[in-house]
Amino acid sequence: MTQRRLLLSLVTLCLVPACVWASSNDAPFSSIRQKAMGGAGVANTFDENALYVNPAGLSRATSTFKLPFRLKFQVNDDALSKLSSLSDLSHSKNKSNADISQKLKDITPLTLEGGIADSPLVAYVQRDFGIGAFADSHFFVKLKNSTLPSLSLSGFGDIAPIVGVSHRFVFSNIPVDIGVSGKYIFRARAYNKEDGSTDIEIPNFKLIEIAQGKDSPVSSFQESGFGADLGALIPVASGNIGVVIHNIATSLSGSRSISGNATAKDFSETLPFSATMGYAQTFNLSSTPYLGWLLGKFDGAIDYALISETDTGTFQRLHMGLEKKILWDTVHFRMGLNQGYPTFGLGIHLFVLHVQYAYFTEEKGQNIGDNPQTSHVAELCILF
């Protein structure tokens, strides 16, 4: 991919994992099951995903080794609705300034958000231990001001080897599973090579020049660093209470080259610290009159973000979901509420072939209803 085509490739969603963009500083790892269940997962994740969701979940893991062919793709509604117009814009190299300007106005305002993932690349878990490598990436692109369109974009892609351990302790006859995971994050981040900024702003005249084939100011640099997560699980009645702290002393460092400077500029950043509490339980309504045959057993979960950089209001901190398995656990129906917005999903597990889908909405504004973004996530996985 040449530099002058990089921006157009972003806008038209022709992305590769090393150069896709996101809107958060936090590591973006989350399972498609978690998204479909409204973002809840702290107290009900007991497979390889426990390495980054809550390492205490390794205490309930069974021995598995996964070397999958897996591809997960996420895109928001706005991108899907304007896909044809985006395609037309990508073929504007020989168009006049007026033609390109009109095409930009036609699709403004526009918010594109999505990502590509392969998580895990490889993983091995057994009771109280797990090791794996996870790759995930997102992009965030926004066209604004329909009178004179300009572009905002930011983001990164991550690859992270993670090792986790857990152990059951007993305090005053109460069993508590404690887990900790260590991670080393390799990150590729987008930046403006002209001024070094990672929150990139491209004015209208520059957009037109890029569409005509001139160089884009967007480039990427690498950063890396160590971090840790700490979690706990407490069995209560027929459920579990979970608590997890993410990004303990997690910082990344690297360097970036800026046009006109002979030497690269060193920098570092600290990933935001967060803490979440959750509860999960398996319900059995088989004996319920009339509906028992339909409801049967299902899993429910609820999470609440105790400390969060972006979730400020009560509803923004709340995540809840349900999962119902049928046909010998080959079909999984999921639904939930993420920050008050409905979510749902479906998983089909046929031996080595796994196909999953999730529909969910996230609030990107300060308050519920300010800037909800709806996305679709699809995943195809073949296990070896």
Q: Give residue 259's pLDDT.
A: 80
Selection from 73-82, 278-287, 330-339 with the highest mean pLDDT:
330-339
CA-to-CA distance for 46 and 178, rounded, in angstroms?
Answer: 13
Q: Give residue 82's pLDDT.
A: 67
Q: Give residue 323's pLDDT.
A: 97
Q: Give residue 89's pLDDT.
A: 60
Of 55-69, 99-113, 221-235, which gets the smallest average pLDDT? 99-113
Reading the block at residue 299, the tokens are 């899993």
Q: How many other C-beta atoms are found inside a 10 Å radius of the C-beta of residue 327?
A: 9
> Using one digit for the tens of pLDDT, what is the confidence trace for 113-164?
878 887 788 999 999 999 999 998 888 888 888 888 888 888 889 999 999 9
Reading the block at residue 322, the tokens are 């349900």
Output the CA–CA distances (angstroms, integers) from residue 128 to 131, 162, 276, in the order listed.
11, 14, 21
Q: Give residue 84's pLDDT.
A: 65
Q: Which residue has the higher pLDDT, 307 or 91?
A: 307
Q: Which domains does the chain have, with CATH numbers?
A: 3-382 (2.40.160)
Q: Which residue has the higher pLDDT, 6 or 281?
A: 281
Tell whether omega for the bond before 109 is within 30 degrees of 0, i.e. cis: yes
> Using one digit for the tens of pLDDT, what is the confidence trace for 182-212?
999 999 999 998 888 888 998 888 887 877 7
Q: How many other C-beta atoms are found inside a 10 Å radius of the C-beta of residue 75?
A: 19
Q: Is the pLDDT at 332 greater than 50, yes or no?
A: yes
Q: Give residue 155's pLDDT.
A: 87
Q: Is the pLDDT at 95 greater than 70, yes or no?
A: no
Q: Is the pLDDT at 313 greater than 80, yes or no?
A: no
User: What backbone phi and psi angles, to 5 degrees, belong to 221?
Assistant: -135, 170
> Using one digit for the tens of pLDDT, what is the confidence trace for 275-295?
999 999 999 988 888 777 788
Q: How confident is the model at residue 76 (pLDDT cuts 50, 70, 90)?
A: confident
> Using one digit for the tens of pLDDT, what is the confidence trace for 223-232?
999 999 999 9
CA-to-CA distance for 162 and 50, rounded, in angstroms?
Answer: 10
Q: Give residue 53's pLDDT.
A: 95
Tell whether the torsion through CA atoms of 269, 17, 113 and 131 is positive or negative. negative
Instruction: Report pTM.
Output: 0.84
Over residues 284-309, mean pLDDT:
87
Q: Give residue 12's pLDDT.
A: 39
Q: How confident is the model at residue 304 (pLDDT cuts 50, 70, 90)?
A: very high
Q: Is the pLDDT at 94 greater than 80, yes or no?
A: no
Q: Is the pLDDT at 261 greater than 80, yes or no?
A: no
